[in-house]
Structure 1
């Protein structure tokens, strides 16, 4: 009798898959490197093959969170050449229920289930009850989503904040933007605010071409050039997060997600992030009152997928297969 939902948080670099029942709590989490597979179906097949056959037979549906738009029939990753048809993948696996959502939509749904141990506050602020929540941040790209409470249920608002055009607010940012413009043409937010963006900023400022992980590691060792790069990155991040918070009216709080946010968590204190976040006249006081938290939970996307998967698990019917 089907009673489980397969959930997956599929990023540009790696994917996390788990199973969930009606309680919405992810179990048996498996992590895969996307480079090991040709596409979505191959990765899911490999994941299911690693699980107990008796358990796999009880999987009646799936929720896939993908790093890209998911509102059409054809779903494509923004930063990897992977795509699937919703109807075709559901038929391929014989799932009763299926949902595809943007990865930051899943993150947004997971925010209410996070606890204090999953978060690191950045500055002060108090969330206003039932006000919009913003989730945004850099990873392989830059994602953003909103969360609204309507009645007794939360509803996510998806967007593509990473593709908004990037501007400059001081001389250093003008210098960085000019370099990116020559290299890339019109510059989007995620050209700077992403893992590759961190490496790009470091190369522009220092002439050194190293991986973003190496920049963060060097900053952790106290190397001045790397720490300056991280602070420049965090100033840009703070300004963009403040922009998005004003657009959404995010008085319910701002949550910073993505692997780069978590990696840079030790450097937020003492950086220009909070100052740049609040420096949006004439709304400095509003943003100063807005709480900001870094999400440090290791699999926050799966938490949100679990919430959605739990809803689907409650609707599964005995022995019904898709044909």
Structure 2
């Protein structure tokens, strides 16, 4: 468990906070511990060669208030001085950020660590419940986010402190269970001999499932974009798209149930990210909760665990802001993840 010196950030305001995913980067500036974050326009990561270029041209050149510190959440494991994003081209180099952006202090954490922090920061107005179950106060939580990839994190409460637990849970193995699964599984392309959750439960995963459904029926895929698949599915205008989103909901329910058991998440399981918000009507149908609860011999336990879709538009930034304001509430380990001038 992190010790107090490892978890007390002591960052100097103004603080730049950022959430960098595989496709987009979101940033805000926190002037002091009492101010609301000043949000900046979303930055597509492919539009810039580096985070330094993106921040300088799109943010720092456009504000008179310059940050002295930064805490950035990135989509990938944080290890060493060069931090490549799992599903994007940027390599985050905190030492370069210190020099190029005139910062004094930089902390880099995992993006789903930030999503976990958000669970402790947002209220009921920032989430929508799916199905039964009640939150057990101060109990552990789990967060999953299908997006460019599949992010997974836990949030554990101990000694009056919330400890986010980052990881790469989106890369766990998944396998067929139902008769329909066995029909479409041969048409899914494995990576080094296996199918991981992320190959099904992300944007490209929607396309992967759709193509497998089409091929299993001897049909040519008519939709090439995951947004098209979900749009036709929700409108009911394409039967194969409808089945795709139904299967997506089922597989997401299975993995969410697995994470609920791993973390004993009686504080709730939270689905973050834009895909979960878009397909919320589909997730409210029986498939998601049925798959979530179908965990014999612990189905009765799973029925008591609530599930939510996070509807807060900038949840990760909200979590980072909460940590920046009151770091003592959160057990965020900074050893090996903090760089100073």
TM-score (norm 1): 0.90
Change (3 A) 1:23 1:34: same
1:116-127 maps to which residues of 2 (within 5 A)? 116-127=124-135
Match of 2:29 in 1: 19
Q: Please state how far the C-alpha of 1:89 moved relative to its aligned partner.
A: 2.2
Q: Please state how far the C-alpha of 1:260 moved relative to its aligned partner.
A: 1.2
Change (3 A) 1:296 1:192: same
Match of 2:4 in 1: none
Give CA-to-partner distance per residue, 1:255-284, whole Å, 9 cap, x none.
001221111111112241000000000101
Match of 2:279 in 1: 264
Structure 2 runs not aligned, ≥5 long = 1-11, 215-219, 328-339
Q: Which runs of 4+ in 1 moved over 3 A?
A: 181-185
1:51-90 maps to which residues of 2 (within 5 A)? 51-53=62-64, 55-56=65-66, 59-90=67-98
Matched, 1:37 2:45: no
Correspondent of 2:113 among 105, 112, 116:
105
Change (3 A) 1:24 1:199: farther
Q: Please state how far the C-alpha of 1:133 moved relative to its aligned partner.
A: 0.5
Give CA-to-partner distance per residue, 1:105-132, whole Å, 9 cap, x none.
0011011221222211110101112211
- Tell me, yes or no, if the aligned pair for 1:39 and 1:83 is still in contact at 8 Å: yes
Matched, 1:282 2:282: no
Q: Distance in 1 between matches of 2:59 and 2:254?
A: 42
Q: Distance in 2 between matches of 1:274 and 1:126?
A: 14
Correspondent of 1:220 among 223, 234, 238:
234
> How many residue pairs get matched?
312
Match of 2:3 in 1: none
Give CA-to-partner distance per residue, 1:233-292, whole Å, 9 cap, x none.
100000010011101111111100122111111111224100000000010111100010
Structure 1 runs not aligned, ≥5 long = 313-321
Q: Distance in 1 between matches of 2:102 and 2:19?
A: 20
Q: Please state how far the C-alpha of 1:311 moved relative to its aligned partner.
A: 4.2
Q: Please state how far the C-alpha of 1:50 moved relative to its aligned partner.
A: 4.3
Correspondent of 1:10 among 3, 16, 20:
20
Q: SS at 2:25's partner residue?
A: strand
Q: Distance in 1 between matches of 2:268 and 2:45?
A: 32
Give CA-to-partner distance per residue, 1:292-320, whole Å, 9 cap, x none.
000111111111111223247xxxxxxxx
- Tell me, yes or no, if the aligned pair for 1:164 and 1:189 is still in contact at 8 Å: yes
Give CA-to-partner distance per residue, 1:54-79, whole Å, 9 cap, x none.
x12xx110011111112433211100
Q: Distance in 2 between matches of 1:37 and 1:203?
A: 32
Q: Please state how far the C-alpha of 1:104 moved relative to its aligned partner.
A: 0.6
CA RMSD of the aligned region, Å?
2.1
Q: Distance in 2 between matches of 1:183 and 1:238?
A: 22
Q: Please state how far the C-alpha of 1:24 moved relative to its aligned partner.
A: 7.0
Q: Please state how far the C-alpha of 1:184 moved relative to its aligned partner.
A: 6.6
Q: Distance in 1 between matches of 2:161 and 2:285?
A: 37
- Tell me, yes or no, if the aligned pair for 1:24 and 1:307 is still in contact at 8 Å: no
- Tell me, yes or no, if the aligned pair for 1:25 and 1:307 is still in contact at 8 Å: no
Q: Please state how far the C-alpha of 1:220 moved relative to its aligned partner.
A: 2.2
1:187-202 maps to which residues of 2 (within 5 A)? 187-202=195-210
Give CA-to-partner distance per residue, 1:19-47, whole Å, 9 cap, x none.
11213742233211112111211111123
Q: Distance in 1 between matches of 2:236 and 2:189?
A: 30
User: Which has the higher mean CA deviation after the structures are superposed, 258-267 or 181-190?
Assistant: 181-190
